[in-house]
Amino acid sequence: MGQMIKTNALKETSISGVFACGDVARLGGSVSLAVGDGTMAGVAAHRSLVF
């Protein structure tokens, strides 16, 4: 597998404005979980830009 980037529940990394999802933020190779992660990261990124 390789290295993983740590994120919080909203897929935010420790660097402000940087989000990670899918295989770089979760062990395993599940497409459905990667899609869910991407959705969460997209919503969080949108909120960080708008609000």
> What is the tens place of the pLDDT at every residue in 14-49?
999 999 999 899 887 889 999 999 999 999 999 999
In terms of pLDDT, which residue wins out, 27 or 1? 27
Which residue is associated with the tokens 């990394």? 13
pLDDT at 1: 62
- Whether 32 and 22 have beta carbons less than 8 Å apart is answered as no
CB neighbours of residue 20 within 10 Å: 18
- Whether 26 and 7 have beta carbons less than 8 Å apart is answered as no
Instruction: Please tell me the distance from the alpha carbon of residue 49 to that of residue 51, in angstroms, as a whole number.
Output: 6
Domain ranges of the chain: 1-51
Residue 2 binned pLDDT confidence (cut-offs 50, 70, 90): confident
- Determine the distance from the C-alpha atom of residue 33 to the mean position of all C-alpha atoms in its chain, rounded to a whole number: 11
Instruction: Please give the model's pTM, rounded to 2 decimal places.
Output: 0.79
